[in-house]
Structure 1
Amino acid sequence: MIRITTIIRGYSPSTSLYVAPWIVRSTYPAMIICVSPSGLPSIGAPKCLFGIWLKPWAKCRAWLFAGAIGVAAFPAVAQTQSEEPAGGEVRKNERQLPAVTVTAAAYDDVTEPYPGGQVARGGRLGLLGNNGVMDTPFSVTSYTSQRMEDQQAVTLAEVLKSDPSTRFTGQIGGVTDSFYIRGFPINEGNLSEVAFDGVYGVSPNYHLFTEYLDRVEVLKGPAALLYGMSPNSGVGGVVNVVPKRSLVSDLTRFTLDYASDSQVGGAVDLSRRFGEAREFGIRFNGLHRQGPTPLDNQKSRAEVGALSLDYRGERLRTSLDLIEQYQWVDAPTRPFLMAPGIQVPSAPDGRRNVTQPWAWWKSNDVSTLLRAEYDVSDKLTLFVNAGGTRTDVARFSEQTPTILNAAGDTSALPQNWKFQVNRSSFDTGLRAKFDTGSVKHAVALQANLYNDRIANARNSGTTVLSNIYAPIASPEQVVSAPQNVPKVSASTLSSVALADTLSAWEDRVQLTLGVRHQEVKSDNFNTTSGAKSSSYDKTAVTPLAGLVVKPWDNVSFYANYVEGLSKGDIAPATASNAGQVFSPYKTKQQEVGVKFDSGRILATLAAFRVTKPSGQLNGTVFAIDSEQRNQGLELALSGEAYRGIRLIGGVTLLDAELTKTNSAATQGNRPVGVPTVMANLGAEWDLPWVAGMTLTGAVNFTGKEYVNQANTQSVPGWTTFDLGARYKTKLYGKSTTIRAGVMNAFNRKYWSGVASFSTISLGAPRTVFASASVDF
C-alpha cells in the first residue's frame, strides 16, 4: 500500500485540528509529516491536518512522490524563524542554524503578472521561448493562476471563458475540453492538442484540472513553425499550459471548495526551496473532489496528484513534472446530433440529462515531462525536453444522442468502450544570440519527434429513447466489456525548425523569420488481423515572418504571416484517383495589429485573415479544392483601469465563409459553429469601505451559430451573467481567502456551442461555487 505524505508547516504533533469526514473517506492510508514552528519535521502525527489519498502507482513513481514530499519539510529548517525566544535563546529540542543567503534565480520577468494580476506580461512562443507581449508579433494572452483561483475555475474550459476569441464546444457535464479559436476547432477527438510547457503529447488527454496550472497561454492563429504540427491537425491557435513550479517563498495552502448540487473538494498546494543557495525546488498539488453535480442523476469524482521538482543553478536549469489524475463520472453527458430536415428545438433546462442513470465513465491519465537547459555561455543555451502521457478509459454510456424531432425526442446507442492512448514527445535544440554590426540576432534551432498510439474496442447494447425536456430512464442494460483492445492507429510527427529574430534600433524594430520541415506518418490497422489498412507518409515546409515596430515604449505595431498544417487526405475508393495521398494541408494567416501598454491596461487590437483548404470530391476526382476563410477584428484587454477596479475581456467580430465547395447549396455559406460576434467582459471592484472585500462579475455573449454547412439548422445567440465576491483576511494569523460565486446567475437556457462535426452542446445551468483557502 502506498502512502502519500502531506506537510503542514507551523503545526506540532500536539496540535489538534478537526478533520472533516468526507476528506478521510478512502481505503488508502496516509502518512502525515508536520513541521513545527522550529522547522523540524514530526512524522506520523495523526492530528496534524489531513492526508491526500491516491491509488497505488508503479513503485518508482510512488517512492518518488513519498520521498519528495518528505524532503519538502526539510528546507524549513534552513529558514530564519519569525518567532524567536527572548534573548535569542534556543528552545528545548530545537536546533540553531546559521543564516542562509538566498541567491536562487527568479522566474523570467516576461511571465510576471501584469497589474491587476489576471494576465502575465508575456508567455511561451514554442520554439522561440518566453517573450513579452509587446515584443511578440502575435495576439497572445496568458492567464495567471491568480485569475484561475479567483474564477474558481475547475478545468481548462472555465479558464478560457474570459477569452473573446475562444469558445468551449464541449458538453457541460462531459469529459473533454474542446474549443474553437478564431472559428477553427482544436482539441476535438482523443489526442489532446493542449501543449504542456511548450510540448505536445504530455498534457492529460481529456480534462485538465487547474490545481496544477500556473498559467494558461492562448496564442491565436496557426502556429506550425512555433510548435510543430498539432497532433489532431488543429489550426485555430495553440493553448499552452504551464505547470506550477516551486516558488521563491515557501507555501502551504489548503483549500476547501463546494459546487452545487453538493460537490465538495479539498486541495493542497505545497512549495519549498532548499539547498545552500535554495537552488532545489519542489511543488506538490493534490486534489480530491466528489459529489452530485447540478445535472440530474450525475455524480462526479476526481483525484489529482501533481509533483514538480526543479533545479536552478548558475548555468543548468532542470525540471521534472509528474501528474496522475483519475476521474469518475456517473451519467456523463454527450453533445447532440440533429436529425436532418428539422429545426433545432429550444434549449431545455440545463439540469436535464438524457444520459441513462446507469451509464458511467472512468479515466486515468499519467503524464511526465523532463526539461533541461544549459547555458554554454551568456550567448548560447542548449535545451532538451522528453515526456509523454498514458491514458486509460473505460466507459459504458450512450454514444452521441440524436435529436429526432421538434419535440426533443432522442435516440442513442449504449456502448461499453475501452480506450488506451499512449503518446510520447522528445525535442532538443539551441538558442543563440550574436550581433552582425548594429543588428542583434536571436537564433533558435529545434528538432522534435512526437508519437501516438490509439487502441480501442467496444461492445454495443440496444437503442434507448429519451427526451431533452423530460428524460426517460430505461432499464439498465448488461453489456460486457471488450476482452481485447487492439491497436487502431499510430502516428509519428517529426520536424526540424530554424528561426531568427533580428533586432535593430534599440529593439524598436524586430523581424522574425523562420522555417520548419515537417514529416507526417500515420497508419491505420485492421482490428481483427492487426494488419495495416492504410498508411500516410508525407512532408511539408512551413514558413513564418513576423514584424514588431515600437515607435514608442508603450505602443507596438505588429504583423505576421504564418501557416498551420493538417494531415492530408487519401482519395476514397469512390474517386477515380482512389488511393492518391495528398501532402499536408496548409492553413495560411495574415495578421496586423497594434498593442498598447499604459502601465495599468494592456490591450491588443488585431485584424486577421485565415484560409484553410481541404479535400473534396469534385465530380469523380478527389482534389484539394475546398476552402474556408475566416477574417475578422479582435480586441482583447486586461488590467487595473483604476485603483481597485480591474477589467478583463474583449470582443471578436468574425466574417467566416465557405469560399470553395462542390455544392451550390453550401457555396458562400457560414462554416459550422462560427458566430459573427463573441464578447466577454469581466470586472472586479475592491470595496473601499470594507478592507479585503472584492465584488466580481462577468457577462458573456456569443452570436448565432449554424449547425450544418447548408445553414438550414442553427442555434440562437446567448448572453449569460456570472456574479461573485471574495474576502481576504487573517484567521488566527493565517492568510485566508473566502470566495463565492454563481455562474449563469439568471439560469439562462441555451445551446452553448457547436462542434466541427455538427454536434450541439447544452449550456450550464445556474451553478453556485464557494471556497476557502488558508495559507499556513
Structure 2
Amino acid sequence: MTFTLKHPVLACAIVQAFVVTPAAVAQDAIPSVVVTSSKWIALDRASVGGFAETQLLDAPASITSIGQGQMQDLSIRSVSDASRYDASIGDAYNAIGYAEQFSVRGFTLDNATSYRKDMIAISGDTQIPLENKERIEVLRGLAGLQAGVAAPGGMLNFVTKRPTNAPLRSATVEVRERGTVYGAVDLGGRFADRRFGYRVNAAAEDLKSYVRGADGKRQFISAAFDWQMSPDALFQIDVDHQHKEQVTAPGYQLLRNEVLPTGISAKTLLNDQPWTRPVDTDSSNLGLRFEYRISDTWTATVNANKHWFKRDDFTAFPYGCSNEGDGYYPGYCSNGDYDVYDFQSTGERKTPWGAQAMLQGRFDTGAVRHALTIGSAYAERHDSFGEYVYDYVGSSNIWQNQIVPPVDSSRVTGPVMERRATEERSLFVQDILTLSPAWTLHAGVRYVQLKLDALEEIDQARVKSKDSFALPNVALVYAPAPDWRVYGSISHGLQYGGIAPMETVNQNTVLSPSRSKQFEFGVKRNVNEQLALSGAVFEITQGLEYTNAANIFVRAGEQTHRGVELSAQGRALPGLNYNLSLMALDTDQKDTGDASTEGKRVTNVPELRTAAWVEYVVPQVAGLKLDAQWQYSGNKVFDPANRVKVPGYHVAGFGASYLLRAGGLNTIIRARMDNAFDKFYWRDVTQSLGGYLLPGAPRTFRVSAQIDF
C-alpha cells in the first residue's frame, strides 16, 4: 500500500517550526471555543443566515450547523457523510469518485455559487475537504440577500478553523472496508508573541471504494494564521491545497428508457475497462480577512477568497443502447447492454474569487434599536476547457462486464481556452430593527449586476449579456417568551441559468439568469441546553429547466416546492442525546405548455424524508457511548413526465466510541457500521447527462482512533 507523502512531510516541517513555549501568563486577545461534545444542541450559532454570527434562535431562517466535535464523533469525513443527519439535504448526481453534489429542499445546488468558504463562493466540482473546517452551515431556502446568486434551495457554507489560544495537538487514523486507510493531524496554538496564532491541518487517504475498482488517493494540507495587530484590529490569512485522484463510478439508466434495472450490485463498476483512468483534481484556496473595531458599536470587515480548481476527467462512460432495434438514447437494452464511450476532458480550469466589505453598527432612533449592515461585494469566475473526446468504442453489460478497446488512444482534448466568464457586483443593506422586547423586523435588499461572456461552441461568436436585479428580503420576528421565536419572511433569490448538458441539441448553451421567490413561516424554541425545536412551512417558486421531448434543454413554466420541515435536538435524559429531522415536500410543474409534464412532480424529490440519530452514554462503562442512525426517503420520480417511480428506502446504521487514557494520552476509539442490514436502494435519481440512477452504499465499516497529545 503506497502513500504520497509530500503533503504530510510538509505538514510535519511546519509543525516543527511551530514548537514554541507559549508565554506562561498572557491575556488572550482572540476568543477560542473548542467543541468536544457530540450533543447537537451545542452549536447554536451560524453566520450563513446573515452578515455575522447569529444565534440560530434569532435568525428568521432554517439553518443547520454541524461542528467539528460532531464531525469527529460521527466519523464525518465528507459532506455526503454529514447529509445523512439532515432530512432537507439530498443527493444530486453525487457519483463516487467525482464531485459531491447535493440538493436542498428539492433544488439542486449550483456548483458555481451554492458552496461557500467563509461566505465566499468556491467551486463545488470536487469533494470539499473538511479537515480544516470548524463547522458546516446549511441555509435552507433563498439566499438572495446574503449571497446574491445562489440556488433557490439554499447553500452550504464551510467555516474555516482558526488558531486556538491553548495548544492543540490531535491525530486521527482510520481504516475502512476493503482497506481504505485515512490519517489526519490538527495542530494549533499561539507563538511566544501571543499576538500571533497558527492552525495546521494535514490528511492523506488511500481510497479503496466499496465500488470495486473505483479506487484512488487523496492528500490535503492547510494552514491558518492570525495577527492581533492591535486591540481593535485583527488580520487573518488561510491557505489550503487538496489533490485527489479516483476512478469514478457512473450510474445506471433505465432499460429501454422505461424500466428500472434489477439484480444490481452497488459494488459493480460500469467504468471497468483496462484503459480507465482516475479523475484527477487539484483545488486550492487563499483566504484573507481583516476586522477593525471602530468603536464599541461599529465594526468594519473586509474578506476575500481566491479558489483554484483543475480537473482531468476520464471515464468509460455508459450511455444508451445501439444493440437493440433502433436503439434507446438514453436508456440501456432489455438484456442490460449499454454503449461505452471513451470520454476525456483534460485541462479543465475554474478560478472563482470574491471579496466583500461591510460596515456594521448599532444605534437607536427613539425607542427603536437598529443593527445596520451596509456592504458591497464583487465576484468573478473564469471557466476554461477544451472540446472533449467522446468516442463510441463498443458495448458492455450491467450484469456481465465486457472488455472493449478504445478506438484511438491518440485522441486528446481540443485546445483549452476560456469558455465562460461571469462577473457579479452587488451592494447590500440590512437593518434589524428591535421595535419592542417582543417584535423585531429584519429588512434588507441586495442590488446585483451580472455579466456573462461565453463561447458556447468554437465555431460560433461569443455570447455576452448584462443583467441587473434587486433582491428584497423582509422578515418579522415575534418573541412571545425569551426562549420562543415565531417568524414570517418573504425573500427573492437569483440563480444563473442552467447549462445544456452533453448530447442535447443545444449542448453547452447557457440559459439566462432567473429569479426565485420564497414565503416562509417558522417557529423555534430553545430550552437551556436540553431541547431545541424548530419548524417551518415554505413555498419556493422558480423557472423549470429540463430537457424536453425534442432533446432541447429549455426553461419552460415553473416548478413550485411547498414543504414542511421539523427538527428536534437535545438531551432526553442525562445520558441520551438525539437529533431528529423531517421534511415533507410537495412539488409540481406548471405552465410548461407540455401535456406530458404539466402538473407532474419534480424529479429526484421524495415527498417525505426523515433522519434520526440517538446517542446513549453507557453509565456502567466510563467513556463508552453507543449511537444509532436511521434514514427514510419516500419514492421519487425519474423523469419530468413521471413515467417511472423509484422506490423509497429505509437505511440504518450503528456506532460506538470509547474514551480511554493510553500512554498518558487521551484516545478515543470509534467504530461505525452504515447500512447495517445491507439494503440495496437507489439513493440518487438525476436527470443530469440523460438521466441516471446511483445505488446507495452497501453495508460498510470503519474504525478510527483519535489521539490528543
1:404 equivalent to 2:332? Answer: yes
- The AA in structure 2 aligned to 1:592 is F
Q: TM-score, normalised on structure 2?
A: 0.90
8 Å contact from structure 1 (residues 177, 187) kept in 2: no
1:104 equivalent to 2:29? Answer: yes
The whole-number CA distance in structure 1 between the counterparts of 2:218 and 2:626 is: 29
Offset, 1:619: 14
In structure 1, the partner of 2:655 is 724
What's the secondary structure of 1:552's corresponding residue? coil
Offset, 1:27: 6.5
Equivalent residue runs for 1:15-94 within 5 Å? 25-26=3-4, 28=6, 52-53=8-9, 69-74=15-20, 77-78=21-22
What's the secondary structure of 2:580's corresponding residue? strand
Listed one character per residue, the Cα deviations across residues 618-651 of structure 1 (whole Å, up to 9, x for unaligned) are 999x997611111011101222222121111311
User: Larger Rg: 1 or 2?
Assistant: 1
In structure 1, the partner of 2:222 is 306
The whole-number CA distance in structure 2 between the counterparts of 1:304 and 1:748 is: 33
In structure 2, the partner of 1:265 is 182
- The AA in structure 1 aligned to 2:181 is V
Equivalent residue runs for 1:135-534 within 5 Å? 135-188=58-111, 191=112, 193-201=114-122, 205-230=125-150, 234-276=151-193, 278-312=194-228, 313-330=230-247, 332-338=248-254, 341-346=257-262, 348-357=264-273, 358-359=275-276, 360-399=278-317, 401-402=319-320, 403-418=331-346, 419-457=348-386, 458-475=388-405, 478-482=409-413, 484-506=415-437, 508-525=438-455, 528=458, 532-534=461-463
1:562 equivalent to 2:491? Answer: yes
The whole-number CA distance in structure 2 between the counterparts of 1:476 and 1:615 is: 35
Listed one character per residue, the Cα deviations across residues 555-593 of structure 1 (whole Å, up to 9, x for unaligned) are 11111111111235999xxxxxxxx99974221110101
- The AA in structure 2 aligned to 1:707 is F
Listed one character per residue, the Cα deviations across residues 514-571 of structure 1 (whole Å, up to 9, x for unaligned) are 1111111112126646x74312211111100012211111111111111111235999
In structure 2, the partner of 1:670 is 601
What's the secondary structure of 2:596's corresponding residue? coil
The whole-number CA distance in structure 2 between the counterparts of 1:200 and 1:174 is: 22
What's the secondary structure of 2:69's corresponding residue? helix
8 Å contact from structure 2 (residues 614, 629) kept in 1: yes
Offset, 1:711: 0.2
The whole-number CA distance in structure 1 between the counterparts of 2:549 and 2:413 is: 41
Equivalent residue runs for 1:574-723 within 5 Å? 584-599=513-528, 600-614=530-544, 626-723=557-654
What's the secondary structure of 2:217's corresponding residue? strand
- The AA in structure 2 aligned to 1:197 is D
Offset, 1:235: 1.4
Q: For residues 315 and 347 of structure 1, do their structure 2 counterparts lie closer, same or farther at Cα, with a shift above 3 Å needed?
A: farther
- The AA in structure 2 aligned to 1:375 is R
8 Å contact from structure 2 (residues 256, 333) kept in 1: no
What's the secondary structure of 1:147's corresponding residue? helix
- The AA in structure 1 aligned to 2:199 is R
The whole-number CA distance in structure 1 between the counterparts of 2:263 and 2:62 is: 34
Out of 409-418 and 258-267, give the one that drifted further: 409-418
Q: For residues 224 and 27 of structure 1, do their structure 2 counterparts lie closer, same or farther at Cα, with a shift above 3 Å needed?
A: closer
The whole-number CA distance in structure 2 between the counterparts of 1:416 and 1:525 is: 20
Offset, 1:398: 2.7
- The AA in structure 2 aligned to 1:243 is T
The whole-number CA distance in structure 1 between the counterparts of 2:362 and 2:696 is: 49
Q: TM-score, normalised on structure 1?
A: 0.83
What's the secondary structure of 1:157's corresponding residue? helix
Q: For residues 385 and 324 of structure 1, do their structure 2 counterparts lie closer, same or farther at Cα, with a shift above 3 Å needed?
A: same
The whole-number CA distance in structure 2 between the counterparts of 1:393 and 1:298 is: 17
- The AA in structure 2 aligned to 1:470 is Q
The whole-number CA distance in structure 1 between the counterparts of 2:549 and 2:660 is: 70
The whole-number CA distance in structure 2 between the counterparts of 1:342 and 1:69 is: 57
The whole-number CA distance in structure 2 between the counterparts of 1:564 and 1:719 is: 34
Offset, 1:472: 3.1
8 Å contact from structure 1 (residues 416, 482) kept in 2: yes
8 Å contact from structure 1 (residues 431, 442) kept in 2: yes
In structure 2, the partner of 1:549 is 478
8 Å contact from structure 1 (residues 373, 382) kept in 2: yes
Listed one character per residue, the Cα deviations across residues 182-223 of structure 1 (whole Å, up to 9, x for unaligned) are 1111045xx36311111113x664101221111001111011
Q: For residues 712 and 623 of structure 1, do their structure 2 counterparts lie closer, same or farther at Cα, with a shift above 3 Å needed?
A: closer
Offset, 1:660: 2.0
8 Å contact from structure 1 (residues 204, 391) kept in 2: no
- The AA in structure 2 aligned to 1:443 is L
Listed one character per residue, the Cα deviations across residues 689-745 of structure 1 (whole Å, up to 9, x for unaligned) are 111111111011111111111100221101111111111111111010111111111
Percent identical across equivalent pairs?
25
Listed one character per residue, the Cα deviations across residues 433-486 of structure 1 (whole Å, up to 9, x for unaligned) are 111111111111121111111111222343342333333343466244336312
The whole-number CA distance in structure 2 between the counterparts of 1:517 and 1:756 is: 33
8 Å contact from structure 2 (residues 544, 589) kept in 1: no
Q: For residues 407 and 438 of structure 1, do their structure 2 counterparts lie closer, same or farther at Cα, with a shift above 3 Å needed?
A: farther
The whole-number CA distance in structure 2 between the counterparts of 1:174 and 1:446 is: 39
8 Å contact from structure 2 (residues 4, 219) kept in 1: no
8 Å contact from structure 1 (residues 271, 284) kept in 2: yes
- The AA in structure 2 aligned to 1:349 is S
Q: For residues 660 and 269 of structure 1, do their structure 2 counterparts lie closer, same or farther at Cα, with a shift above 3 Å needed?
A: same
Listed one character per residue, the Cα deviations across residues 733-763 of structure 1 (whole Å, up to 9, x for unaligned) are 1010111111111111111012353432121
Out of 153-162 and 112-121, give the one that drifted further: 112-121
In structure 2, the partner of 1:536 is 465
1:743 equivalent to 2:661? Answer: no
What's the secondary structure of 1:462's corresponding residue? strand
Out of 580-589 and 260-269, give the one that drifted further: 580-589
